[in-house]
Each structure stands twice: as C-alpha cells, then as structure tokens.
C-alpha cells in the first residue's frame, strides 16, 4: 500500500509509523511525530486500572509498526488486515493528525451509519485519549 506523498514525513524510512486496530473496523495509522505522544499517554495508564490495561493489551496485540520506503509504500500485518477486512482495494482517509485505512464497503457503511457504537473498547480508548 502506498501512503500519499503529502502524508509522508522527512525521515520516514528511519522513523516509525504505528498502526492500530480501530474499534470502527478500520486501521488507524499514527505518523512518526504522533507515536511519541501516544507513548506518553499509554505510559500514564495506571497498572491498577485493569480495564484500561486489558484494553491496551488487546489493542497492541494487533498493532504493527513500520517504516515508509522511498516510494511511500508500507506493509501492514495480517492481523490488522483481517481486522479491517481490506483486501485488494483500500480507502485511505486523513484526519489531520492520523490517517485510517478502510475496506471500501465498510467505509461507505460507516459514513451512512447515524448510530454511534457504545463499545467498551471505544469508551476506554476515548478516556485514554487514544
């Protein structure tokens, strides 16, 4: 998969993108400059907060990190591909600080949906600012 040129950063080959499974059914990709901020937020989670620790364990068990080659290509692991349902085609959607990788059909259904999921994972991630 190729990251659009305007979403790439100087030093992409050395720096690391972080891809996480999004509860909405897509893959959220944090560019290198956002990874350090995310690390700080995760480090603030108390070991005594069992729900948050479990959510982070589930989240990061599917996570992947990768560099971007000179042509802007990235490789996403099979766990994330399975989570997102992406196969031959994907839709990349930027939202200023991150971008998401969607299965085209899932993306259309997401846009058409007026309902917000009251998912425990989504609530915990929101609480953590992730």
Number of domains in the chain: 1
Q: Is position 117 within any domain?
A: yes
Check which CATH number belongs to the domain holding 40 and give it: 3.40.1550.20
Q: Which two tokens stand for residue 17?
A: 């993108």
- Residue 30 CB-density burial (10 A; 0-12 exposed, 13-18 middle, 19+ buried): buried
- The radius of gyration of the chain from alpha carbons, rounded to an integer in Å, stands at 15
The Cα angle at residue 124 between residues 37 and 66, in degrees rounded to 5: 40
> What does 16-82 look like in DSSP terms, one character per residue?
-EEEEE-TTSSEEEE-HHHHHHHHHHHHTS-TT-HHHHHHHHHHHHS-EEE---TT-B----HHHHH
Q: State the pLDDT at residue 103.
A: 97
Q: State the pLDDT at residue 63.
A: 92
Q: State the pLDDT at residue 107.
A: 95
Q: Is position 101 within any domain?
A: yes
Q: Is position 103 within any domain?
A: yes
10-residue mean pLDDT profile of the chain (130 residues): values are 74 73 92 84 91 89 86 88 94 89 95 67 70
């Amino acid at each position: 998969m190729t990251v659009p040129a305007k979403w790439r950063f100087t030093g992409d080959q050395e720096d690391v993108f972080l891809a996480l499974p999004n509860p909405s059914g897509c893959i959220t990709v944090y560019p290198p400059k956002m990874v350090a901020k995310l690390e700080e937020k995760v480090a603030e989670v108390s070991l005594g907060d069992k729900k948050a620790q479990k959510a982070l364990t589930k989240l990061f068990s599917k996570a992947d990190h990768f560099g971007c080659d000179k042509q802007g290509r990235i490789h996403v692991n099979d766990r994330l591909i399975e989570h997102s349902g992406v196969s031959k085609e994907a839709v990349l959607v930027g939202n200023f600080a991150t971008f998401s990788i969607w299965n085209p059909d899932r993306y259309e259904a997401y846009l058409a949906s007026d309902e917000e999921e009251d998912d425990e994972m989504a609530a915990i991630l929101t609480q953590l600012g992730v």
